[in-house]
Structure 1
Amino acid sequence: MSSDIFHEEGIRLKEMIQRLEKEKDDIHLKIEGHNEDYDDLKHYLSEFTADPMEMYQNYRSMTNVSKTINFYFNQINKIQKLLEAPYFGRIDFLFEDDVDVEEVYIGKFSFTDQDNDILIYDWRAPISSMYYEYELGQASYDSKIGKIYGEITRKRQFKIKDQHLYYALESSINIHDEVLQKELSTTSDDRMKTIISTIQKEQNSIVRNESAHTLIIQGVAGSGKSAIALHRIAYLLYKHKGTLSSDQITIISPNKIFADFISNVLPELGEEPVHEQTFDEIAINLLPKSLKIETSYEQTKKIIEEPHSNYTYRVKLKSTFTFFRQLSKYVNEIDSTIFQPDQDIYIADTLITRNYLTSRFYSYHKLPVKQRLDELANDILDVIQTSKAAEIKRIPSKKDVIKKLRTFLIFKDAQSIYINFYNEINPTDTLNWHKNKLEYQDVFPYLYCIHYFDGIQTFESVKHVIIDEMQDYSPIQYAVINKLFHCKKTILGDFGQMINPFSLNLGDSISTIFTKMEFVELKKKLSILL
């Protein structure tokens, strides 16, 4: 390590800490001022009788002051984290057609002085991407105004902890042995907090990938896939601030371990924790409350204890891509015949022809069956309203019209569809639906049928889904998730660590279920990310 570099960066660090301390003090003064304003407004409301409009204006003022105070507290929290370690990297960038080199220091968060000069760039900022993508020489990054070109003339890597500079090294293509040794000497918990200082080019492209509607990350144990997914969430929240918030992101995992990890680390990266749920929880919330269902844990336990039982055979059958394809094909086929009026009908002395019923029902083919009946009933009532019969006859209720239309359905509910389907593909086995309890391998096929017949409320408020341990889910589970969540997805796991030996087969199914998907594979164990 060059003593000149260490000395130079040590001085720079002290100056930065002084600026951060001053900024923290200034914000504390602002908070004190706003607290006084809040107390004055509160006192006024308690001491004086005001007219309703004046009270409303005061309440609004108190709410705005409270929001401002919370904003400043969040700023204090970020500055406190920056004070511990303001930055971890630096690049000197000479913009094309310019003569001045800009020193770009990169940290967890951005820090701007009172003149709006950026002293520290957030690691997720567009210009910071060059730290991960390039070494010395020609470089570029994407900005709001287009591609920015230039040259990286210097690149350094730092280790700062508790305001102490441990090392400052000129960077090269490979991580310096000295850096690696120092990183590996930290505790495992510290290493997992953030990897932003050691993200490599391949990982950076995964973190910042926005082209894929569904991004599949296959990674061996220790490849850093969980940490990469975490930083991908943080990057997307930063990049789309204003249109994407933490409450619009959902993590789906078989257990709370990954979700807890995400929730604990996201605040380290300046973001709020995100919502979490399991496949079991999704199913419980969507299925009829009267129906008891087996859990995925109970299924796994039975597979292990009874590997050659009929139960295990059923799990194996219903976990295949063939089973999903058969169910999908069956539902598509019955859709053309599920509604069969056998004659013209009269409602309130108004003739409703068989052809009219059929054509109107199938014109709503994109809707679930029950919603089609609802729309068809509306159409029929409109016809009656405009007929002469409406003048002398009582117009029936919509409920009565739907009741009549239901008599023309071949299948009366989602349960009968699924039972009939299973009997067709496997006549030697009966669907185990006894005592109002459903085996776990039937839960998602049944939900698939419910989605077709009854309709299921989709999660339109969710804008990004992260699915962990992808190897433990079946094709039919993914098909249902795809119908429930129309947003972008990040899916990660390791097909070498399946708990359910009959679950998803990557090659022949996942690419069929998810369109516009990209697949990346992390084959190496990266000790620095363990």
Structure 2
Amino acid sequence: MNQDEQWLQEQKRVDYTIEKMKKEKQELLSKVKAVRGEAQEIRNTFWEDVTVNLDEPDDVVETSASVRQQAELLAERERSYGHMEENAKKLNRMIDSPYFARVDFHEADEPSEAIYIGISSYLDDEGEYLVYDWRAPISSIYYDGVPGPVSYRAPDGIREGVMDLKRQFLIRRGKIEALFDTGVSIGDEMLQEILGAHANTHMKNIVATIQKEQNQIIRDVKSNLLFVQGAAGSGKTSVALQRIAYLLYRYRDSLDSEQIVLFSPNQLFNHYVAKVLPELGENNMRQTTFLEYAQSRVGKTLKVESLLDQMEASLRAEKEEAGEMARIKGSLGFFRAIEAYAETLLKSGLLFRDIRFKGETIISKSDIAAMFYAYGESYSLPNRFQLVSKQLLKELERVAKEERKKPWVEEEIELLGQDAFLAAHQYAERKARKNRDDFSGSAYEKEFLARKIVNRRFSSIRKSIKQYRYFNAKAQYLDFLKQVPEFVQDAAGPLDAKTRAAFREGSLLFEDTVPYMYLLDLVTGRKTSSSIKYVFIDEIQDYTPIQLAYMRFLFPYSKFTMLGDLNQSIFGTTGYSPMKLAHEIFGEEKAQVVYLTKSYRSTSAITRFTKEILQDGEKIDWFERGGNLPVLSVTGSESESITKIVDYAKKLSKESHTVAIIGKSRKQCAQSYEKLHAQLELTFIEKEYSELPEGIILIPSYLAKGLEFDSVIVLDASADTYHDDSERTLLYTVGTRAMHHLILISNGPATTLLAGVPENLYVRE
């Protein structure tokens, strides 16, 4: 067959498959309508179909069984139409593009079978596969193999055979737009087509173009720790999401999305990746940021400083002393010091608060301490807190009885409404009948009302006791910081001054967050989630050693996947290797490191340019995709810079869906926003809880992490803005957000960080 005939044959199969899918979708929607109607009918007539009789114990049991039976019938109908709706949505996603690849495979003397691969499996009426799920075992030969001898791991062991053909498709709106036969993992033609497309406000799934080394990461089920070091644009995050989809498929009987958590750099990034798994027919895993987790753990008493706030502070010139302080508090040695300090608290030293009511101490902190240390060292600190809380609640009840006799209670009784007095009267009548006492009604009423008032006033104290608020966590942490030199060798002196000032303002510094939570956990009890089976951490290079150690502490039974790029640390070189550290914390058994060195996001011109910004960076290769050289435009004034930015933004927006003007900091962006806004229609993304719009945006560097844009304009690449060698990785990160066009505007002389970039790799204006 010549290529035209092959194309025609393949289009006929696409048409046949889509026709089958459309027919099944219509049948499903009809069934959904019918079953949903049944469910609504059950809801409307629920109590008409239930026999309610509560006269005798047997009748109560019968009524309960009748209610349960009706509820189960309703739940079954709702599950049924919910499942059919999901199948209809899956078919809807596949109808435009039912599959993206074909491999012809045969075992031994068996005839060759054409296997078509798409985002989900699809079977015809006879149970034959028209499309195989990309996660199915046999589909791995498409990603890993080339025509010739191949093998794949099936549930019953290794299967071997021969791949006779490897074909890739681009199908849009039911029509084949491109068809390639290839002898490599994923043909360059297909990558050129897909990578040349415009950026989107949401991350796209990459199942059609997964490379062999990416597939190794996605299908890894043996490693307890999988560490992915990937260059900018190498598909780290995309691969992580496909890995989640694969795990949900592989272990669909024992794993659900609620048992997987992804820690991402910020909420803006969470919005960006939110559609990938639903496109593949899976529910999203739990998504959070470290800040969100910390804030939920610390509660409302302290506002946790975010990584973004710390970034802003570090971008100001106040970082020498603060940087050293953060380094000590973020070290593994500091983590061990907290453990050593907590050990000393077994004998003495815990700090408590008085329990007060109406301005008076009702249980003193010294009495609480005496209760606490009455238990010997064989009792752990968390166990003692449970026991002491029970004692305190008993003591509170004794105090409450005394309080009911006090004058303030009588004063409040006078202010009660009619409903309270009616309830008191009914209580008094019941009590009088029970005690056969007709003469103490008013006393019983007063007893009822006094107890009601005191209980209401004491309810918040009971709650605070149950939540261990009598423990003075802030004072305890400050006490630890004063004693740090006893536990940490290179701590020159007390580390509590900035922390104390922050506590007074109701905030918790970023570098204090993990030590504070860890001390709280060791003292009052670990708040872990044993239900989490897989933990994914993105942008691992921005995590401190103490954060990684704390993650292991929080999720002791989970498997970890860590993704990062040492070249994209927003704080510059950190002086430690996250990979080496992860091995130290998690152990080397069943640990795997995978390197993704090829960048696919940017044109080869942009990748060559940004690679040269780094010195001694990790190895970076590029995918050969044509495009214009980056432009460095040096201006003589701020107004000239603004004019250049406006001109470029207007020009690029005509050929780009997304144009990002990226500033170094939020402050720098805010200063430029008014001038730009007067001449451009643009959106200022200054908070991480934003959604990413199309068009022209203005965004600080650290919020742009992990995102990609058709065109990037660096707001100011001058020597005044990027002057420190530690900012190389930050400038590199900004430049690597660009897919097709990169423009650097410099207000005054350009940063010396570009001095090592060969002049033939960019255009200078």
Once residues 511 and 596 of structure 2 are traced to their aligned partners in structure 1, the CA distance between those partners, rounded to angstroms, is 30
Q: Given the superposition, is the C-alpha separation of residues 316 and 166 from structure 1 closer, same or farther in structure 2, using an over 3 Å criterion? A: same
Alignment of 1:305-316 (within 5 A): 305-316=316-327
Once residues 215 and 55 of structure 1 are traced to their aligned partners in structure 2, the CA distance between those partners, rounded to angstroms, is 49
1:56 alignment partner, one of 68, 88, 96: 68
Once residues 512 and 127 of structure 1 are traced to their aligned partners in structure 2, the CA distance between those partners, rounded to angstroms, is 36
Match of 1:484 in 2: 554
Match of 2:142 in 1: 131
Structure 2 counterpart SS, 1:74: helix
TM-superposed deviation, 1:437 = 4.0
Match of 2:484 in 1: 421
Structure 2 counterpart SS, 1:243: coil
Q: Given the superposition, is the C-alpha separation of residues 69 and 287 from structure 1 closer, same or farther in structure 2, using an over 3 Å criterion? A: same
Q: Given the superposition, is the C-alpha separation of residues 108 and 175 from structure 1 closer, same or farther in structure 2, using an over 3 Å criterion? A: closer
Once residues 69 and 84 of structure 2 are traced to their aligned partners in structure 1, the CA distance between those partners, rounded to angstroms, is 23
Q: Given the superposition, is the C-alpha separation of residues 220 and 69 from structure 1 closer, same or farther in structure 2, using an over 3 Å criterion? A: same
Amino acid at match of 1:511: H
TM-superposed deviation, 1:201 = 0.8
Match of 1:325 in 2: 333
Q: What stretches of structure 1 of length at least 5 have no aligned partner?
A: 342-353, 362-367, 379-411
Q: Given the superposition, is the C-alpha separation of residues 420 and 54 from structure 1 closer, same or farther in structure 2, using an over 3 Å criterion? A: same
1:456 alignment partner, one of 526, 529, 553: 526
2:99 alignment partner, one of 84, 87, 102: 87
Match of 1:14 in 2: 15
| 8 Å CA contact 1:6, 1:167 repeated in 2 | no
Once residues 107 and 495 of structure 2 are traced to their aligned partners in structure 1, the CA distance between those partners, rounded to angstroms, is 71
TM-superposed deviation, 1:41 = 2.9
| 8 Å CA contact 2:166, 2:182 repeated in 1 | yes
Which is worse superposed, 127-136 or 181-190?
A: 181-190
| 8 Å CA contact 1:473, 1:504 repeated in 2 | no
Once residues 308 and 88 of structure 1 are traced to their aligned partners in structure 2, the CA distance between those partners, rounded to angstroms, is 51
Which protein is bigger by CA-based radius of gyration? 2
Once residues 342 and 40 of structure 2 are traced to their aligned partners in structure 1, the CA distance between those partners, rounded to angstroms, is 67
Once residues 303 and 45 of structure 1 are traced to their aligned partners in structure 2, the CA distance between those partners, rounded to angstroms, is 62
Match of 1:518 in 2: 592
1:475 alignment partner, one of 545, 550, 564: 545
Amino acid at match of 1:496: N
Structure 1 counterpart SS, 2:238: helix
Match of 1:509 in 2: 581
Which is worse superposed, 256-265 or 109-118?
A: 256-265
TM-superposed deviation, 1:475 = 0.4
Larger relative contact order, structure 1 or 2 (CA cutoff 8 Å, min sep 6):
1
| 8 Å CA contact 1:137, 1:151 repeated in 2 | yes
Deviations 1:148-175 (A, max 9, x none): 2222122211111110111222221165
Amino acid at match of 2:593: F
Which is worse superposed, 253-262 or 462-471?
A: 253-262
Q: Given the superposition, is the C-alpha separation of residues 450 and 44 from structure 1 closer, same or farther in structure 2, using an over 3 Å criterion? A: closer
Q: Given the superposition, is the C-alpha separation of residues 288 and 456 from structure 1 closer, same or farther in structure 2, using an over 3 Å criterion? A: farther
Structure 1 counterpart SS, 2:113: strand
Q: Given the superposition, is the C-alpha separation of residues 415 and 491 from structure 1 closer, same or farther in structure 2, using an over 3 Å criterion? A: same
Match of 2:199 in 1: 188
TM-superposed deviation, 1:285 = 2.0
Q: What stretches of structure 2 of length at least 5 have no aligned partner?
A: 53-62, 350-372, 391-474, 602-622, 624-707, 709-738, 740-765
Once residues 265 and 188 of structure 1 are traced to their aligned partners in structure 2, the CA distance between those partners, rounded to angstroms, is 14
Deviations 1:311-341 (A, max 9, x none): 233123333xxx3225415624873894389
TM-superposed deviation, 1:278 = 1.6
Q: Given the superposition, is the C-alpha separation of residues 210 and 2 from structure 1 closer, same or farther in structure 2, using an over 3 Å criterion? A: same
Once residues 296 and 526 of structure 1 are traced to their aligned partners in structure 2, the CA distance between those partners, rounded to angstroms, is 28
Match of 2:536 in 1: 466
Amino acid at match of 2:566: F
Structure 2 counterpart SS, 1:314: helix
Once residues 342 and 267 of structure 2 are traced to their aligned partners in structure 1, the CA distance between those partners, rounded to angstroms, is 39
- Identity in percent: 30
Q: Given the superposition, is the C-alpha separation of residues 27 and 293 from structure 1 closer, same or farther in structure 2, using an over 3 Å criterion? A: closer
Structure 2 counterpart SS, 1:156: strand
Which is worse superposed, 498-507 or 163-172?
A: 498-507
Q: Given the superposition, is the C-alpha separation of residues 77 and 30 from structure 1 closer, same or farther in structure 2, using an over 3 Å criterion? A: same
Deviations 1:453-506 (A, max 9, x none): 222210222222221111111100111111112311211121112122364721
Coordinate RMSD, CA, aligned: 3.3
TM-superposed deviation, 1:54 = 3.4
Structure 1 counterpart SS, 2:98: coil
TM-superposed deviation, 1:377 = 12
Once residues 520 and 88 of structure 1 are traced to their aligned partners in structure 2, the CA distance between those partners, rounded to angstroms, is 26
Match of 1:385 in 2: none
